[in-house]
Amino acid sequence: MTSTPPRLPKTPLLDRIAGPEDFRGFSIEDLVRLAEEVRQTMIHSVSQTGGHLASGLGVVELTVALHAVFDTPRDRLLWDVGHQAYPHKILTGRATRMLGLRQGGGISGFTRRAESEYDPFGAGHSSTSISAALGMAVGRDLKGGKNNVIAVIGDGAMSAGQAYEAMNNAGAQGSRLIVILNDNDMSIAPPVGAMSSYLSRLMSSPKYHSIRHLAKDLAHLLPPPLERAAKRAEEYARGMVTGGGTLFEELGFFYVGPVDGHSFENLLPVLRNVRDSDSNTPVLIHVVTKKGKGYAPAEAAADRYHGVGRFDVVTGQFDKPPVNAPSYTSVFAKALLAEAEADDRVVAVTAAMPAGTGLDRFGARFPGRCFDVGIAEQHAVTFAAGLACEGLKPFCAIYSTFLQRGYDQLQHDVALQHLPVRFAIDRAGLVGADGATHAGAYDLTLLGCQPDIVIMCPSDEAELMHAVATAAAIDDRPSAFRYPRGEGVGIELPDRGSVLPIGKGRLVREGQRVAILSIGTRMVEVLKAADTLAAMGLSPTVADARFMKPLDEELVLRLAREHEVLVTIEENAIGGFGAHVLTLLAQHGALDKGLKVRPMILPDVFIEHDNQWNQYEAAGLNAGGVVATVLGALNDPRYQLPA
């Protein structure tokens, strides 16, 4: 029997919709039905493709309401982070493509300008929406435009400093801007009741604005002490009825909320009032939603269903493909726990990713020594620097793609001061379905130019344990080690890693004519390539550099001296390991006598989402690419690929 291809549930209302203009005249009852169809489409599509689930489920009604009230795409609608935007994609002509979500050739898991005119700004990293929206609003004003610009931010993104930098600027700029704060864990305000919903509608109405401006004008006529008292009274009254808008008011925003984000009766009047206002004061609408809304398993465990693989819609059970080896992330967690058991100075820092980095296990064992600082990579790095100043041994665990956001702090606050912060860089290399926004393609380039930093790239999970132990032992300068997403190779692990000699690689196989110098976890593919070459009668030397910095100069120069061809291979863009090797060879004259060097790196493009194998195949960094590179450099007719 052939398996039935996955199909989306029946959606009679959604099937009639080509874009938001088709439901702007819907009644509230029809909008409720439409929201339910969007929710079911999202659940069923993500169950087949994997992706971000709970966040999008929480904003279904909000998404429908925004597109129903505003004239998108003329009105610009920006979604922070992007993983809240699946309902937005479904409503803007991409419903039938949802089964290709995050798949090779399919639509992105994030908003993307090249994908749709309804995506005015790409988002994979958090907390950028207000900055971009303000830029668009000012650009509109300079061109004499009248359209609205709306930024939806939430799901933790308000913990990042950039959001407040943007709000501070927006409050002073005086451009018309609407910010929707999606508060999906009730971290800012209490649950919404009938009175607060009524007050939100009242405060967003033109009548309230007129009364408020009249009150301000009258206050200006009073003597200064009474004017100040009148202003304080109004601020106090607004704080009492709204549940906490004082911070946003101080930043220059007109605060409305909280509003029930699942009630069209509450959402639609507020959004229309704000849309129709002629005020140039930026507005923040505080909307309270429930993450995972409408799907019981996600409501019960929103964190577990934040990002998911394939799952059974009926039971909520995740598909569990057979695991041949532990993930690199879990091996890091094991190694760090071993170091922390032996040394109470070991502490851990993460930026809102305790589970993603494996530090949830560390936090459970050592709660007083584990620090989640929120989506604030800049702060995380400098905070770790402060810990190091006090003699502690901080491990700062951040994904490669997010560490980019703390690069200034890494250089200025850590490297310049020679502080022994240890950077555990997860998701190095290509990451599969998350695509270019999350690829760890640049950290070796960025870190490699920093003076006096130790950079390690383990080739397997045992080597990762040794790298953690080595970093723990380095107490006079910063260090970093990188490791990829996914499983290891399945080799036996020690209880605790061993400290490696700094800057020393290792020979894996001795051969002749060709040397392949690998750094990182491409070693598995290198060894496959070496087996293929050996079957042709050409047995290459294979070496594991282990360290990018300091480079094992003795090993590199020996390989150059004793071989005709030297191939370097790394999971990084241009300017990384291969560039350091070439610089060393040039400085020592090793290129002067005909040595052929072929650096194998990630191509100089942003690699789109797909599975990791296909991504590396396209990049030429799988075994076949290594073989082809060796044979091309050697250019010996005796060694040919089989026809």
| Residues known to be catalytic | 291, 377, 405
Write the CB contacts of 174 (distance below 8 Å, at least 6 apart in sequence): 280, 281
Exposure string over 591-605, b if 16+ CB within 10 A, otherwise e: eeeebbbbbbbbeee
Tokens of 542: 């294979």
Identify whether the C-beta of residue 77 lies closer than 8 Å to the C-beta of residue 587. no
Q: What is the DSSP letter of 97?
A: G
Please tell me the distance from the alpha carbon of residue 459 to that of residue 519, in angstroms, as a whole number.
7
Please tell me the distance from the alpha carbon of residue 60 to that of residue 339, in angstroms, as a whole number.
45
Question: Is there a binding annotation on residue 124?
Answer: yes
Write the CB contacts of 252 (distance below 8 Å, at least 6 apart in sequence): 167, 168, 170, 171, 172, 281, 282
Please tell me the distance from the alpha carbon of residue 389 to that of residue 421, in angstroms, as a whole number.
9
Tokens of 564: 């005709």
Angle between helices 224-242 and 206-220 (to 10 degrees): 160
Question: Is there a binding annotation on residue 184?
Answer: yes
Question: Is there a binding annotation on residue 461?
Answer: no
Angle between helices 60-69 and 28-49 (to 10 degrees): 130
Calculate the alpha carbon distances from 420 to 206, 384, 393, 470 in Å. Answer: 57, 9, 7, 12
Query: Closest by alpha carbon to 630, among 597, 604, 603?
Result: 597
Question: Is there a binding annotation on residue 399?
Answer: no
Question: Is there a binding annotation on residue 126?
Answer: yes
Cis peptide before 550 (omega within 30 of 0): yes
Rounding to the nearest 10 degrees, give the CA dihedral for residues 297, 302, 303, 304.
10
Tokens of 47: 């169950």
Write the CB contacts of 244 (distance below 8 Å, at least 6 apart in sequence): 188, 189
CA atoms in the 13 A half-sphere facing the CB of 453: 27
Which residue has tokens 């004061």? 281
- 41 exposure class (CB count in 10 Å sphere: 0-12, 13-18, 19+): buried
Question: Is there a binding annotation on residue 83?
Answer: yes
Query: H helices of 221-327, where?
Result: 224-242, 246-250, 264-276, 296-300
Q: What is the DSSP letter of 11?
A: -
Binding-site residues for Mg(2+) sit at: 155, 184
Binding-site residues sit at: 83, 124-126, 155-157, 184, 295, 377
Binding-site residues for thiamine diphosphate sit at: 83, 124-126, 156-157, 184, 295, 377
